[in-house]
Amino acid sequence: MTAPVLEVRNLVKTFAVKGAFGRGRGIVRAVDDVSFSIGAGEVFGLAGESGSGKSTIARMVMGLSQPDSGDILIDGQSILGRGTSLAHRQQVQMVFQNPGASLNPRRTVGQSIRVPLDAHNFAGDRRARVGELLEMAQLPAHFADRFPHELSGGQKQRVAIARALAVEPRLLVLDEPTSALDVSVQSHVIELLEDLVAQLGLTYLFISHDLSLMRNFAQRVGILYLGKIVETGPVAPVFTAPQHDYTRLLLASVPVISAEEEALRPTIPMIDGDIPTAEQLLALRELSQTKEFKT
Amino acid sequence: MTALLSVRNLDVSFTTYGRRTQVLRDVSIDVPEGAQIALVGESGSGKTVLMKTVMGILPQPPAKVEGGAILFDDRDLLTMPERDRLRLRGTAMSMVFQDPMSSLNPVFTIYDQLGTILKHADRRLGRQRGRRERWARVLEVLEQVRMREPERVARSFPMQLSGGMRQRILIAMALLSEPRLLIADEPGTALDVTTQAQILNLLRDLVTRQNLALLMITHNLGVVRETSTYTYVMNQGRIVEQAPTAEIFAAPREAYTRELIAAVPRLTGRAT
Ligand SMILES: Nc1ncnc2c1ncn2[C@@H]1O[C@H](COP(=O)(O)OP(=O)(O)OP(=O)(O)O)[C@@H](O)[C@H]1O
Ligand SMILES: Nc1ncnc2c1ncn2[C@@H]1O[C@H](COP(=O)(O)OP(=O)(O)OP(=O)(O)O)[C@@H](O)[C@H]1O
Ligand SMILES: [Mg+2]
Ligand SMILES: [Mg+2]
């Protein structure tokens, strides 16, 4: 068997922060013993609570920060210590969660997309490639001369996607890549990403809060909660028969547009007319052994 | 009776490198008190520009308001003295921006930023509050927006927070300023669906109990369907369809609206 494109083993990352009352030091366990692997041409989805460590994992895979412990392997080779090398960057590209902050405000769109082409000595016609990438992202050619502040939120996001695809990476880390796109443009972008799997065998680590999109785009998912993966598996069973209470709580909260989808959402008991927190839910489960809580 | 916010026939254009593009064409929307209104539409169709025009923060030039009126409490924001308008902004009318970092100052802690907003709100509403109470109130609001460790968050700098935590800071800012009109531009995109639902509940409470006028821009049609009473659909700078939300989903009239609804990924997976 060939090695997975990405393998993450027992990853741990903590941050030192100010302690209570501003005194001393506290610790945030942002990522707490996370392991998963992604095979060639596979889309692996990561979903989970806001602040559960998804972007922190993505940054470590990109080599932008180092784990406290654990290992990250690309094609069977550990990247730790050589994370920011050029070779690694050509293999792994990322679309950041906040497109506004990830584009250089002083560069035009065309210049931004050209940076990776120049850095990796792209052999073909670079100007033409920029045009091609803009077209792929469904942006007009004259946008090459615009600056980020002259773009809408979704337009910036599409520039970030075009830039990440410029040098045809092997692994693409997508951190909420379509959160600012209308569903129509989103479906074109997802189709494009799927075509690239077929054409180039690209592999994706796909982070998103949009579980409906994840169900359609990913083959396997991991559900993160407080820095740990609480449930993982192929999408169909995780979505239709979730095993962990947190997964169930998430699925129960997905806003949907049809009655069929409503029927798929697990029922969750409300507390004082409000959606419970995961802790409340887990506590309730301890107390009661009612049917809908059984795993 | 007019709605608290009434945008009438607004035209806005941008001129860059001598090229003029019309971004908003004859846009009219109403946001009454105690109502939750949704604005959906194409990426790049002008939603954010519309909100920035209402808030009076559109850079002019390159932008130009070519015509129309924006009535807030029956007064035209476009013609009122700049001083009066400044007084409304961030107080009586508040906005949650699409890009959280654009409203956060990277060199101040979250408490510094929230505390300042609270001070202004207290001054405006003629309230007295000491340092201790201010700290307590900020923690309370951080808890309301479902922050796990409010104390840690209050002492953090924006860069130390996740994307969704920053987005919730913006919502906390809006709550602290106690506005009559709240415009929220994609307020839930960086939040897991459970936290998003809790925050939407919180906003709904403000709408029903405190008569807040809420205008929400979102690409998430599920959120639109489950939270708003009336929906505007925008495409290429125009409002192409508007109706009570239930009607939009039951019987969309415009081809563009139908295209949008058809493109929503389904929780049930692909139809095969
Ligand atoms: N530089 C930092 N210093 C201190 N704490 C940090 C730092 N970066 C991240 N954290 C903390 O680590 C935790 C995980 O953050 P991360 O950005 O990975 O979350 P996330 O899962 O991507 O959330 P979201 O869905 O909201 O984007 C958060 O509690 C955050 O405050
Ligand atoms: N400063 C500017 N100069 C020139 N054009 C601009 C400027 N700001 C925005 N635009 C253009 O105006 C149009 C409307 O932008 P706006 O940000 O309102 O879109 P939006 O509907 O909010 O889209 P999204 O859903 O992607 O955020 C876009 O085509 C955008 O490129
Ligand atoms: Mg994140
Ligand atoms: Mg916008």
Contact A275 B192 (CB under 8 A): no
Q: What is the spatial distance between Cα B194 and Cα B200, in angstroms, rounded to a whole number? A: 10
Query: Tell me, what amino acid is at B163?
Result: G
Q: Which of B17, B43, B189 sits opposite A185 (nearest CB)?
A: B43
**ipTM for this model:** 0.86
What local confidence, expressed as pLDDT, does residue A292 receive?
47
Q: What is the pTM of this model?
A: 0.89
In this model, does residue A295 exceed pLDDT 50? no
* Percent over 90 (pLDDT), chain B: 56
Calculated CA dihedral for residues A87, A204, A147, B11, nearest 10 degrees: 180
The model's pLDDT over A175-188, given as tens digits with 9 standing for 90+, comes to 988 888 889 888 88
User: What pLDDT is attached to residue A182?
Assistant: 87
The shortest C-alpha distance from B82 to chain A (Å) reads: 24
pLDDT in tens, B161-201: 988 899 899 999 999 988 999 999 988 888 888 888 888 88
Distance CA B79, CA A28 (A): 50
Does the domain spanning B3-263 belong to CATH 3.40.1190.20?
Answer: no
- Classify residue B135 by burial, with Cβ atoms within 10 Å: 0-12, 13-18, 19+: middle
Which band of pLDDT confidence, cut at 50, 70 and 90, is reported for residue A21?
low
Residue of chain A with shortest Cα separation from B205: A274
pLDDT at A228 > cutoff 50: yes
Report the residue of chain A nearest B62, measured CA to CA.
A150
Predicted pLDDT at B272: 46
Dist CA A134 CA A131 (whole Å): 5
- Facing residue for A209 by CB, picked from B193, B221, B261: B193
In the predicted structure, residue A120 carries a pLDDT above the cut 90:
no
Handedness of CA A17, B143, B163, B210 (dihedral sign): negative
More confident residue, A84 or B5: B5
Q: What is the pLDDT of residue A179?
A: 84
Kindly report, residue by residue over A143-190, the tens digit of the pLDDT.
999 999 989 888 998 899 999 988 888 999 999 888 888 898 888 889
pLDDT for A245 equals 87
- Provide the pLDDT confidence category of residue A273 given band limits of 50, 70 and 90: low
Please return the burial class of B225, using the count of CB atoms within 10 Å of its CB with bins 0-12, 13-18 and 19+: buried
Query: Could you tell me the mean pLDDT of each successive run of 10 residues in chain B, 272 residues long?
Result: 90 87 94 96 91 90 90 92 84 84 88 92 86 93 90 92 90 90 88 87 88 93 92 95 95 92 87 53
State the nearest Cα–Cα gap between A245 and chain B, in angstroms.
12
Whose CA is closest to atom 27 on ligand 2?
Answer: A153
Nearest partner of B10 among B254, B234, B244, judged by Cα: B234
* Domains parsed from chain A with CATH numbers: 6-294 (3.40.50.300)
Residue of chain B whose Cα is closest to the Cα of A279: B148
In sequence order, what are the residues at sequence separation of 6 or more whose Cβ sits closer than 8 angstroms to the Cβ of residue A256? A212, A262, A265, B222, B225, B226, B266, B267
Q: Is the pLDDT of residue A108 over 90?
A: yes
Which residue, B105, B9, B91, B90, is CA-closest to B57? B90
| Residue A292: CB atoms within 10 Å | 11
> Residue B236 and residue B238: Cα distance in Å, rounded?
6
**Helix runs in chain B, H state only:** 47-55, 82-88, 110-124, 131-144, 150-154, 163-177, 193-210, 221-227, 245-250, 255-263
Return the ligand number nearest the Cα of B97. Answer: 4
Determine whether the interchain pair A254/B264 forms a contact, defined as Cβ–Cβ distance below 8 Å: no
How close is the Cα of B159 to the center of ligand 1, in Å? Answer: 9
Per the listing, tokens 């209050």 go with: B154
- pLDDT value at position A291? 44
Quote the pLDDT of residue A80: 86
Residue closest to A224 by CA, chosen among B270, B150, B199, B162: B162
Report chain A's mean pLDDT, rounded to a whole number.
86
Q: How many CB atoms lie within 10 A of CB A22?
A: 11
DSSP string, B37-100: EEEEE-TTSSHHHHHHHHHT---TTTEEEEEEEEEETTEETTTS-HHHHHHHBTTTEEEE-SSG
**Substitution target from A206, A209, A210 for chain B, most B beta carbons within 10 A:** A209
SS3 B235: strand
Looking at residue B50, what is its pLDDT?
A: 94
Q: Name the residue ranges covered by the structural domains of chain B.
A: 3-263
Cβ < 5 A residues, ion ligand 4: A 152-153; B 48, 98
